[in-house]
Structure 1
Amino acid sequence: MANPPKIFDTALIAAHLARRTPGANNFVLDLVLGDLEDRIGTLIRDFPRALIIGPDIDALPTMGQSASASFTYQRLAAFAGPDDLTDLPEGPFDLIVSLLHLQAVNDVPGYIARLRAILAPDGLLTIAALGGDTLTELREAFLAADSLVTGGASARVAPMIQVRDAGGLLQRAGLALPVADVETHIVRYANPFALMAELKSLGAANPLADRPRRLATPALLAAAASAYAERDADPDGRIRATLDIIWLSGWAPHENQQKPLKPGSATSRLGDVLKG
């Protein structure tokens, strides 16, 4: 099988993460961790062996809580090696959680398949990744600025996974009961430069392998900021940034899992139920 195209420079991502501003408030990770706690907390399930993967290992939780029991996470750093995923620990795991990693993986189907391979029967895989319309305002602003200043276009904001494609990725990996949904947040900043500064402080600068090799000029940045403010500013002058967090979950197949009924096996008509 041919190797997947190299869209993201994982070594560059690791370098960006290593240069993060000490003590920077990672509100995106805080949102994801809060949502993860709510989602796991509704499950009446024990997780004797649980693995959690993320780009900031020190910020990942060591303990989790389901509706029935507390459990311990084994933590694994994302972007710690030259590949999309560092060497995985030996499974099987009853729960695998991947946070804010999938959006910068070159081989997405392969990544999910590798996690599926160390999942115990009836084990749960949960993934949270940036996707959808995340930073679409910044992307459009840079496209307009590049067209104005350079007469062309350059890749400056990473492509995003769409939620409509996500469920198929889980099924392709052989996971049962796949679910894909999206949490949309609108974040506001004083100006586009404040947004760019925060992305840099979080180690989230341009991660693309096919990125422009020359630094953005002051003229380009000014044009991008102007285009951003013109398109996506509120009446008070602050600008909006879209943040879509896509959640994926699926279970390793097991004979005790619920299964869909066979076509034609219904014992009542939908019209009769609605009338009732």
Structure 2
Amino acid sequence: MKLPDSTAPSLFDRRVLALHRARARDEALFLHRAAVDEVQDRLSMVNKSFTAPAIVTPFKHIWQDVLPGARLLADEDVLDLTPGSQDLVIHAMALHWANDPVGQLIQCHRALRADGLLLVVCLGGETLHELRAALGQAEIEVTGGLSPRVAPMAELRDLGGLLQRAGLALPVADSARLTAEYRDLPHLMHDLRAMGESNCLTGRVTHMTRRQIFNRAQQIYAESFLSDSDRLAATFELICLTGWSPDESQQKPLRPGSAQARLADALGTKEGKLPD
């Protein structure tokens, strides 16, 4: 599928991202398994059967048994999707690393048949806010500057707006928070590497970070974000987006002023004017 030329900046170094994912360990992919649970929960509430699903994922083995017969494809800049070929597309835990997230959603929309469903699960803006705060404050104190060390992630409202920009109908966005606990900062950083989710920003720091920064970040983290079990708490926000390929059979909002009955009558109350 050929997309229009994109002017989106390359926020992420996709070559480095591929290297990080290649070193990921299966036992550390708990976020992807949580995403599977989220998807299955939402599909159970949809009164429709899907016969041609596709799943966009960086870790195909996590999803291979979730929907029998589903096409599994990588989250490349240009997705291996044919227009009008799918009735369900799941974009799984990859949109937060996309340089052009709207382009990803548009490609998924184009691949959907009429009244087909797009379901996206990705990390949101609350993810690792504790680590971002601790590292940022530590670096300012030690060096007087600030470097991009934790990837920025979109907020729930912004991601919901992307569904509409991509031309999808009946958009819904919600989120769930997961909290993991770590004994110290190196333990957290090690787990992020094992997930394949460590920093791949194009503008990331490539030289060795001074030990004083990490030591101070550990102190700040422990002072501000300690769990009840005296371990470091780390938040992961899973955002779930759903949108449908437009179809005449879908519900549509009524025109303003077209109601055939008064709300006050339905509620059994009196209608009055608001005070000035």
**Cα RMSD, aligned residues only:** 1.7
CA distance in 2, matches of 1:245, 1:134: 8
Contact residue 62 and residue 74 of structure 1 kept, 8 A: no
Question: Which residue among 72, 84, 87 is the counterpart of 1:94?
Answer: 87
1:30 equivalenced with 2:27 (yes/no): no
| Residue in 1 that maps onto 2:236 | 243
What are the within-5 Å matches in structure 2 for residues 1-276 of structure 1?
A: 3-21=7-25, 23-64=26-67, 72-78=69-75, 83-89=76-82, 91-275=84-268
Percent of aligned positions that are identical: 38
Offset from partner CA, 1:3-26 (integer Å, 9 cap, x none): 1111111111001011123x4331
Structure 1 position 188, deviation (Å): 1.9
Contact residue 36 and residue 66 of structure 2 kept, 8 A: no
Deviates more, 1:161-170 or 1:151-160: 161-170
Contact residue 93 and residue 123 of structure 1 kept, 8 A: yes
Instruction: Provide runs of 4+ in structure 1 moved above 4 Å.
Output: none
Count of residue pairs brought into register by the alignment: 265
Contact residue 83 and residue 112 of structure 2 kept, 8 A: no
Structure 1 position 90, deviation (Å): 5.7
Structure 2 gaps of 5+ residues are 270-276
Contact residue 86 and residue 116 of structure 2 kept, 8 A: yes
Contact residue 63 and residue 72 of structure 1 kept, 8 A: no
CA distance in 1, matches of 2:82, 2:16: 24
Structure 1 gaps of 5+ residues are 65-70
Normalised TM-score (structure 1): 0.90
Normalised TM-score (structure 2): 0.90
Offset from partner CA, 1:13-71 (integer Å, 9 cap, x none): 001011123x433111111101111111222212111100111112113343xxxxxx5
CA distance in 1, matches of 2:6, 2:89: 28
Offset from partner CA, 1:75-104 (integer Å, 9 cap, x none): 1123xxxx5344335642000000111001
